[in-house]
Amino acid sequence: MLSPKIEKALNEQVLLEAESSQIYLAMASWAEVEGYSGIAAFLYKHSDEERMHMLKLVKFINERGGHGVIPALKAPSTKYKGVRELFQQVHDHEILVSTEINRLVDICLKEKDYTTHNFLQWYVSEQIEEEALARQIMDKLKLIGADKSGLYMFDRDVSIMGAPGAAGGGRH
């Protein structure tokens, strides 16, 4: 059985995961309209992943006697100055999510809810991968600089980044 404090904290994470999915969906749509089909595919995939993270939380809350609340969402931004700005926002957002997962783990330890603590370890591991992938992408964009042919190749290759078996991948 979840304590009210843990249930509230988990539902806050449901909101963050839902917002993540919406943000990445909006970014994917922008990239597709701008002609970056590889970036769009990458972000559509990540939007789906974030939705699955949200569903996993909702189901856990419900299974533990709580009520997983499906939140209303604010519309995310639909305009970006460019690919580098977009992926900087992805990187910054993943750091925010990691911070919130760590806060949740801390609450579980203080509340002595070891079942939820154990459940959250999957999210801790997932965030390590998410942050590493975002850093890898930012590093590649720094290497490319203003080179348009480099950006063309990045767009072509990014859709497979993070795929199972891909270099730097191991995604779920």
- Binding site, by residue number, is 17, 50, 53, 94, 127
DSSP string, 119-161: HHHHHHHHHHHHHHHHHHHHHHHHHHTT-HHHHHHHHHHHTTT
Measuring CA to CA, which residue among 100, 109, 102, 113 is closest to residue 64?
A: 113
Q: Return binding residues for Fe cation.
A: 17, 50, 53, 94, 127
Cβ-Cβ contacts under 8 Å for 139 (sequence gap 6 or more): none
* Residue 13 in tokens: 């994470």
Measuring CA to CA, which residue among 92, 81, 94 is closest to residue 53?
A: 94
Q: What is the Cα–Cα distance from 118 to 129, expressed in whole angstroms? A: 18
